[in-house]
Structure 1
Amino acid sequence: MRLPGAPALPRCPLGREPSPANAADLEAMRRRVWREQGVVSLSVEDITDPWLRQAVVNEATRRWGPRTGGPSHGR
């Protein structure tokens, strides 16, 4: 409950509702950003070729450091 004249609560993007986008909408966004900006968004778990998956993991680890959450692929 807010009192009259009280300052507004701080706004933070972390507290907002999740996006109403469904899987098809997200895939369309990925396609558009690839075509327009050359940026790729891939889930490592979706890459079926083991050599390619490891190459992507190695490059991401080199650039941004090791993952802190999610599956560790046997480690």
Structure 2
Amino acid sequence: MKTLHFSGQDVAKVTEAEIADLAKRLEQDEYTNPFEGLEDWHFLRAIAFQRPELVEPYLYLLDLEAYDEA
């Protein structure tokens, strides 16, 4: 299983195909250890905050909810 390793600045270089591969890995959930899955999840989350238009089809994988902090 190929896992992408990106730093914060590399999020700008991620392609739609790479995000689709990342989402597919998260959907299949066939990681050799839980940290690989967590790394992919955190990366998808970082992309969602920096380039939300690319992650929109995969938001269900992030389980993001709005919180009322008032």
Bucket of the pairwise TM-score, normalised by the shorter protein: 0.3 to 0.5
Structure of greater Rg:
1
TM-score by length of 1: 0.32
Which one scores higher on RCO, CA 8 angstroms, separation ≥ 6?
A: 2
TM-score by length of 2: 0.34
